[in-house]
């Protein structure tokens, strides 16, 4: 579904990714792990055309999407939940779900918002509250919810478990598996390598802008990954 071929990318002249190949098949969860600053977010930003791709190409269903604009990518069915401040703090939960996605008519949008409310009932409960009053986990649900309004085929998640308690993390990973079972393809960037490897169909380990290791769940046993665990999380 998504093919990244020999991708070189970075930020105004600064090369971060030095030739990356990633392959994602339909209805897979692909995990991208690696230490801070490895370039994980840059991979996702390159797909979403926010980072500066210098060479290589990105194909989505065989179509070259390397130079497409944000809204064109969204129309094709790619949604992105970024890392950091992921919601509009001073907009209500409902407004956070309504905003953007301008290519969708109101009736369809309302229907999809209700679908998100079914998936995350707590959002419905708090629909008129401002987003900053939500807990960390609810914030993640809201951001994922907004990404789902586009009815994406491919969902890019950048460290969704960041700042969540272990219990909420567990719930979040369950949700992600559920989304996959509903037919979504998901690329997830995670610091929590163990959890990510466990739910992913395949995992890529990124180090210093290069893919250092790739494999299925069995890479948990790999020396490199084990070393990581000696230090706990990355």
Partner 1 sequence: MALIQIIVNSLIIGSLYALVACGFSLIYSTNKFMHFAHGISVVIASYLFYLSLNTLKINFIISILLVLILTGLFGIFMYKVFYGPLQKRKSSNIVLLIASVGILILFENMIMLVFGTTVKTINSDLTKSIEFSSFIITPLQIIIIVTSLILLLLLYLLMKKTKIGRNMRAVSDNKELASIIGIDYKKVSYYSFFIGSLLAGIAGIFIALEQTLEPTIGTNLIVKGFTGSIIGGITSVPGSILGSYILGIAENFGIWYLSSGYKDAIAFTLLFLFLLFKPHGILGINKGIKK
Give the helix, strand, coil percentages of the chain, each rounded to 5.
40, 30, 30
Q: Which two tokens stand for residue 50?
A: 């926010």
Residue 49, phi-psi category: left (phi > 0), alpha (psi -120 to 50), beta (remainder): left
Compare residues 147 and 199 and give the one whose CB is closer to partner 1.
147
Residue 41 contacts Mg ion per CB under 5 A: yes
Residue 132 contacts partner 1 per CB under 8 A: yes
Cβ burial, residue 106 (10 Å; 0-12/13-18/19+): exposed
Compare residues 55 and 133 and give the one whose CB is closer to partner 1.
133
Minimal distance in Å, beta carbon 48 to partner 1?
A: 7
Site string for partner 1, 50-89 (x = CB under 8 A): x-------------------xx--x-----x-x--xxxxx
Minimal distance in Å, beta carbon 49 to partner 1?
A: 10
Minimal distance in Å, beta carbon 14 to ligand ATP?
A: 6
φ, ψ for residue 224, nearest 5 deg? -60, -45
Distance (Å, whole) CA 72 – CA 76? 6
Let me know: does 35 contact 191? Beta carbons within 8 Å.
Answer: no
Question: In terms of Cα–Cα distance, which of 207, 160, 202, 167 is closest to 185?
Answer: 202
Site string for ligand ATP, 79-118 (x = CB under 6 A): ----x-----------------------------------
Minimal distance in Å, beta carbon 87 to Mg ion?
A: 17
Q: Give the binding site for ligand ATP (CB under 6 A).
A: 11, 14, 16, 34, 36-42, 83
Q: Give the binding site for partner 1 (CB under 8 A).
A: 48, 50, 70-71, 74, 80, 82, 85-91, 95, 98-102, 130-133, 146
């Amino acid at each position: 579904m998504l093919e990244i071929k020999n991708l070189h990318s970075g930020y105004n002249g600064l090369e971060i990714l030095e030739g990356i190949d990633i392959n994602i098949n339909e209805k897979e969860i692909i995990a991208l792990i690696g230490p801070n600053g490895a370039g994980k977010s840059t991979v996702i930003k390159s797909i979403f055309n926010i980072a500066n791709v210098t060479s290589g190409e990105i194909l989505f269903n065989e179509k070259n999407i390397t130079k497409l604009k944000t809204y064109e990518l969204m129309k094709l069915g790619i949604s992105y939940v970024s890392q950091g401040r992921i919601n509009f703090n001073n907009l209500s939960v409902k407004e956070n779900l309504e905003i953007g996605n301008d290519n969708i008519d109101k009736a369809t949008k309302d229907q999809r918002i209700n679908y998100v409310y079914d998936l995350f009932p707590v959002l419905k409960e708090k629909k008129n509250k401002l987003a900053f009053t939500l807990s960390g986990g609810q914030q993640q649900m809201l951001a994922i919810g907004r990404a789902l309004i586009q009815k994406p085929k491919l969902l890019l998640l950048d460290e969704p478990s960041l700042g969540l308690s272990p219990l909420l993390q567990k719930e979040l990973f369950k949700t992600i598996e559920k989304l996959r079972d509903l037919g979504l393809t998901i690329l997830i960037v995670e610091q929590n390598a163990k959890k990510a490897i466990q739910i992913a169909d395949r995992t890529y380990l990124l180090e210093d802008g290069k893919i250092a290791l790739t494999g299925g769940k069995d890479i948990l046993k790999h020396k490199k990954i084990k070393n990581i665990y000696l230090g706990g999380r990355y």
